[in-house]
């Protein structure tokens, strides 16, 4: 019923420009498709081989009777978040959140003024922070992400995401999402894909806002997690966030997280860094038509330019693998007409 023929595909692409419809599968009635018949596909993408590779893939797997045809139930696409759907430079947004939380909680923790990494966080000493090991960063995450109920943490995230501003663009971080990728998410959903986020970031940090920003509901978000514990408190059930790592959804963890949360194997995967290498291998190195895409940050002027030499979103092995696996590599500067919706 939702196996869209090629001529409908074009009609439906307008949905990328519509406000995201929350919660339930998008539905397209005849009238809407009719009125959208003349809208261009993926309007923020420049014409060329990159855009064409996306259109060709979707055309092939939705064409009934084609050897490449994939039934809707198997149309699973997975997207990294940091650097693939939104800006990750100069540092991951979730780390900005953690540093803001350290400042907010400092009065209750006088011991932090003398202990690293909290001292560096409080002083805004980014070079010390950048040189921190995993143990220090974990201490920072646990001190700011654990010790409250899931409900309280959701409120903390929502309050922060509504008020925090990125220093370069002076805008909420949720406006620093890539418009071409938001169009791509909607385009895939219009072709009966389920679109999942599979991120190294915290699952509970993303879920409160992914539906509003990306049209991705909480159950379609996979991420790193800390353990939680069920408890009755004053006769009311609560889930408490514990200072203990549950799962790291990065690198070889991404196929594991995909299997645990989604069950099915993606036929398309979208990333931008070495942390996405195994996810792209898992999605594309299998029978049938598959699609892998790497966002290469090449636009220092409109966004950032980085690949092999960065702490945040290093793209090295995965860039080499893209060539041998024939993954599409987005040259951000060349392939994206617009980067942000506010431009």
Q: According to CB under 8 A, which one of 25, 130, 158, 162 is a site residue for its own copies?
A: 25
CB-based contact 226:145 (threshold 8 Å)? yes
In 3D space, the residue among 41, 43, 159 whose CA is nearest the CA of residue 97 turns out to be 159
Q: Which is nearer to its own copies, 27 or 135 (CB)?
A: 27
Q: Which is nearer to its own copies, 64 or 219 (CB)?
A: 219
Q: Which is nearer to its own copies, 51 or 290 (CB)?
A: 290
Cα-Cα-Cα-Cα dihedral sign, residues 211, 257, 307, 125? positive
Binding part of the chain for its own copies, among 22-30, 127-135, 171-179, 289-297 by CB under 8 A, reads 22-30
Check residue 221 for interaction with its own copies (CB under 8 A): yes
Q: According to CB under 8 A, which one of 138, 218, 338, 341 is a site residue for its own copies?
A: 218
Least Å distance, CB 188 to its own copies, is 13
Check residue 219 for interaction with its own copies (CB under 8 A): yes
Check residue 217 for interaction with its own copies (CB under 8 A): yes
Binding part of the chain for its own copies, among 17-25, 46-54, 80-88, 105-113 by CB under 8 A, reads 17-25
CB-based contact 198:80 (threshold 8 Å)? yes
Check residue 323 for interaction with its own copies (CB under 8 A): no
Check residue 23 for interaction with its own copies (CB under 8 A): yes
Q: Which is nearer to its own copies, 23 or 167 (CB)?
A: 23
In 3D space, the residue among 215, 185, 193, 217 whose CA is nearest the CA of residue 203 turns out to be 217
Phi, psi of 20 (to 5 degrees): -70, 135
Cα-Cα-Cα-Cα dihedral sign, residues 170, 338, 58, 254? negative
Q: According to CB under 8 A, which one of 59, 142, 256, 305 is a site residue for its own copies?
A: 256
Check residue 229 for interaction with its own copies (CB under 8 A): yes
Check residue 133 for interaction with its own copies (CB under 8 A): no
Cα-Cα-Cα-Cα dihedral sign, residues 39, 43, 48, 49? negative
Q: Which is nearer to its own copies, 81 or 310 (CB)?
A: 81
Helix boundaries (H) for the chain: 6-12, 30-35, 49-62, 93-105, 118-123, 126-130, 134-145, 150-163, 179-190, 203-214, 253-261, 277-284, 317-325, 332-335
DSSP secondary structure letter of residue 43: T
Binders of its own copies in range 51-90 (CB under 8 A): 71-74
Q: According to CB under 8 A, which one of 2, 116, 128, 132 is a site residue for its own copies?
A: 2
Q: How many angstroms separate the CA atoms of 343 and 303, rounded?
A: 12
**Where do we find the tokens 């431009």?**
343
Task: Give residues in contact with its own copies (CB under 8 A).
Answer: 1-2, 21-25, 27, 71-74, 150, 192, 194, 196, 203-204, 207, 211, 217-221, 225, 228-230, 232, 235-237, 239, 246, 252-253, 255-256, 259-264, 278, 281-282, 285-286
């Amino acid at each position: 019923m939702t196996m869209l023929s090629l001529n409908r595909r074009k009609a439906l692409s307008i949905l990328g420009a519509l406000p995201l419809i929350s919660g339930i599968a998008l539905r397209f009635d005849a009238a809407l498709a009719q009125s959208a018949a003349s809208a261009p596909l993926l309007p923020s993408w420049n014409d060329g081989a990159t855009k064409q590779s996306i259109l060709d893939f979707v055309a092939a797997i939705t064409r009934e009777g084609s050897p490449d045809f994939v039934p809707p139930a198997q149309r699973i696409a997975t997207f990294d978040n940091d650097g693939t759907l939104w800006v990750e430079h100069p540092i991951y947004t979730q780390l900005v959140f953690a540093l803001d939380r350290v400042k907010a909680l400092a009065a209750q923790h006088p011991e932090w003024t003398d202990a690293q990494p909290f001292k560096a966080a409080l002083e805004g000493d980014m070079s010390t922070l950048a040189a921190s090991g995993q143990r220090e960063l974990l201490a920072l995450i646990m001190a700011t992400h654990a010790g409250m109920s899931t409900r309280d943490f959701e409120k903390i995230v929502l309050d922060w995401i509504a008020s925090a501003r990125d220093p370069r663009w002076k805008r909420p971080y949720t406006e620093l999402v890539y418009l071409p990728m938001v169009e791509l998410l909607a385009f895939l959903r219009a072709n009966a894909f389920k679109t999942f986020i599979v991120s190294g970031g915290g699952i509970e940090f993303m879920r409160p806002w992914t539906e509003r920003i990306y049209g991705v509901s909480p159950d379609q978000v996979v991420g790193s997690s800390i353990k939680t514990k069920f408890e009755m408190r004053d006769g009311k059930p609560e889930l408490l966030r514990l200072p203990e790592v549950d799962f790291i959804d990065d690198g070889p963890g991404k196929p594991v997280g995909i299997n645990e949360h989604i069950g099915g194997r993606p036929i398309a995967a979208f990333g931008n860094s070495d942390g996405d290498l195994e996810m792209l291998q898992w999605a594309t190195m299998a029978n049938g038509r598959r699609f892998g895409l790497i966002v290469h940050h090449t636009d220092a002027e409109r966004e950032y330019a980085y690949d092999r030499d960065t702490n945040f979103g290093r793209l090295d092995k995965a860039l080499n693998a893209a060539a041998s696996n024939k993954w599409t590599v987005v040259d951000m500067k060349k392939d994206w007409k617009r980067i942000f919706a506010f431009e």
